[in-house]
């Protein structure tokens, strides 16, 4: 992270929040704020949850769950890729060791 930290303003559920953020991270923070705002608006508009604190907790829980699912998928993809690379490496070794099978 650079030392070039500047405040930016994000808006969530109509309230502004000033956040100090490194310049190179501002775009990601703004995108995260928009995602959180959309999640909270969806929860609020569903009418099932009231109160900003409860809406925030539900949004955080939903986003944490989505992150957990994405992390699990990423781990599975890593395992699959590792297994594929091992198989490919084994096949290459077999071909190099046994050139007559080409």
If 0-12 CB within 10 Å is exposed, 13-18 middle and 19+ buried, where does residue 8 land?
A: middle
- Say what the pLDDT of residue 43 is: 95
- Say what the pLDDT of residue 98 is: 85
**CATH number of the CATH domain containing 66:** 3.30.160.880
- Say what the pLDDT of residue 1 is: 47
> What does the buried/exposed string (b/e) look like for 64-93 if buried means 16 or more CB atoms within 10 Å of the residue's CB?
eeeeeeeeeeeeeeeeeeeeeeeeeeeeee
pTM of the model: 0.71
Average pLDDT over residues 12-35: 95
What are 47-68's pLDDT values in tens digits?
989 899 999 999 999 999 999 9
Number of domains in the chain: 1
Range scoring the smallest mean pLDDT among 3-7, 19-23, 52-56, 70-74: 3-7
pLDDT band of residue 102 (cuts 50, 70, 90) is low
* Higher per-residue confidence, 102 vs 61: 61
- Say what the pLDDT of residue 35 is: 95
- Residues spanned by the domain of 76: 5-101
């Amino acid at each position: 992270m650079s030392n070039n930290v500047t405040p930016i303003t994000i808006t969530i559920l109509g309230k502004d929040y000033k956040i100090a953020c490194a310049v190179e991270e501002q775009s990601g923070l703004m995108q995260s704020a928009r995602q959180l705002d959309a999640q909270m608006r969806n929860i609020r508009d569903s009418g099932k949850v009231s109160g900003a604190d409860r809406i925030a907790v539900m949004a955080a829980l939903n986003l944490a769950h989505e992150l957990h699912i994405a992390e699990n998928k990423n781990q599975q993809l890593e395992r699959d890729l590792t297994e594929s690379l091992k198989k490919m490496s084994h096949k290459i070794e077999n071909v190099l060791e046994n050139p007559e099978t080409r």
